[in-house]
């Protein structure tokens, strides 16, 4: 349970930091590259054995982790852009509604059991995710021209969660979790550095120290969001569909409340209804687990 709570805390911190990027006019790409360097370094420090590139390539999960790293930097940029253009609520909904992708994968690929209580819990969770993040009167407000961003965030986030579950289950040993996480972030950092190099060659690069600070602030919770998610998936607390559902519901509740407290977003009746349904979904999962 403690791993789940830490995963929620780390993921919620990421959304809050993204929101602050717009306020302090942070260069998204620059900060995200630094973020991945910090996240990669955190994983290497946590890994208790010396490692080299030659040895790293021998791990079965290495090339999958590299591909996942590329997806990470793409989705992270999409999340940051969506947050700034459409708000914290929209990116929260797009990200957390993506839980349906790993849930379906778990049910089909791992043949996870779907009883009535669990089904009701998932249904309530999906409704709660939307309502808890809905803006006053109009719900989550996204213009037609901006619809592509949250849709891409939805698909990308779902693919990331599904890939992490599959890889940690099929290839990653218990002691290799920090290294697995570091490899994902390292691959994303390298891709980001190549993009920055192109920017420098074109003469578009402008160094600002605040982007470094922002990247450091983002990198630490980013590493722990993945580390603790993997630990939660391995804890035996619930099957993957249950863990992804509860994890995402808690993140939406906490991020919505923080959006209200820190950024003056109003809590509407829909928000309260969403929070109530989220609590009921957690109750149904608890009952399903007891059975």
**What sign results for the dihedral spanned by CA atoms 35, 256, 234, 104?**
negative
What does the chain come to in residues? Answer: 291
Instruction: Name the one residue in this structure whose structure tokens are 């290497």.
Output: 44
Q: Give the tens place of pLDDT for each residue, 159-180.
A: 998 999 899 889 998 888 899 9
Identify the CA nearest to 89 among candidates 131, 60, 124.
Answer: 131
Residue 186 tokens, joined: 């390292």
3-state secondary structure of 115: coil
Q: Give the tens place of pLDDT for each residue, 245-282.
A: 888 888 878 887 887 788 877 777 887 888 888 888 88
Our count of domains for the chain comes to 1
* Distance, first Cα to last Cα, the chain: 18
Query: Span 60-66, mean pLDDT?
Result: 93
Residue 22 tokens, joined: 């717009």
Residue 200 has pLDDT above 60, yes or no: yes
Q: Which of 24-33, 112-121, 265-274 has the lowest mean pLDDT?
A: 265-274
- Cβ atoms within 10 Å, residue 58: 8
Percent over 90 (pLDDT), the chain: 31
Q: What is the pTM of this model?
A: 0.82
Q: Which domain holds residue 235?
A: 2-290
């Amino acid at each position: 349970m403690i791993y789940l709570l830490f995963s929620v805390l780390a993921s919620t911190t990421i959304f809050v930091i993204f929101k602050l990027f717009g306020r302090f006019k942070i260069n998204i790409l620059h900060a995200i590259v630094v973020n991945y360097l910090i996240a990669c370094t955190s994983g290497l420090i946590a890994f208790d054995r010396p490692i080299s590139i030659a040895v790293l390539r021998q791990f079965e999960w290495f090339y999958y982790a590299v591909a996942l790293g590329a997806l990470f930097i793409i989705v992270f940029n999409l999340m940051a852009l969506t947050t700034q253009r459409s708000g914290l609520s929209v990116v929260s909904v797009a990200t957390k509604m993506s839980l349906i992708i790993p849930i379906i994968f778990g049910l089909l690929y791992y043949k996870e059991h779907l009883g009535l209580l669990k089904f009701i819990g998932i249904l309530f969770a999906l409704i709660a995710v939307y309502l808890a993040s809905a803006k006053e009167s109009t719900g989550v407000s996204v213009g037609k021209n901006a619809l592509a961003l949250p849709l891409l965030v939805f698909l990308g986030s779902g693919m990331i969660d599904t890939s992490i579950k599959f890889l940690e289950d099929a290839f990653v040993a218990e002691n290799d979790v920090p290294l697995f996480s570091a490899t994902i972030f390292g691959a994303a950092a390298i891709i980001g550095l190549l993009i920055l190099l192109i920017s420098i060659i074109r003469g578009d690069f402008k160094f600002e120290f605040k982007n470094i600070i922002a990247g450091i602030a983002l990198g630490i919770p980013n590493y722990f969001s993945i580390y603790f998610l993997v630990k939660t998936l391995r804890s035996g607390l619930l099957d993957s569909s249950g863990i992804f559902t509860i994890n995402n519901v808690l993140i939406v509740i906490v991020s919505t409340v923080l959006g209200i407290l820190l950024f003056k977003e109003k809590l509407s009746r829909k928000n309260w209804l969403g929070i109530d349904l989220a609590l009921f979904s957690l109750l149904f999962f608890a009952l399903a687990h007891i059975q």
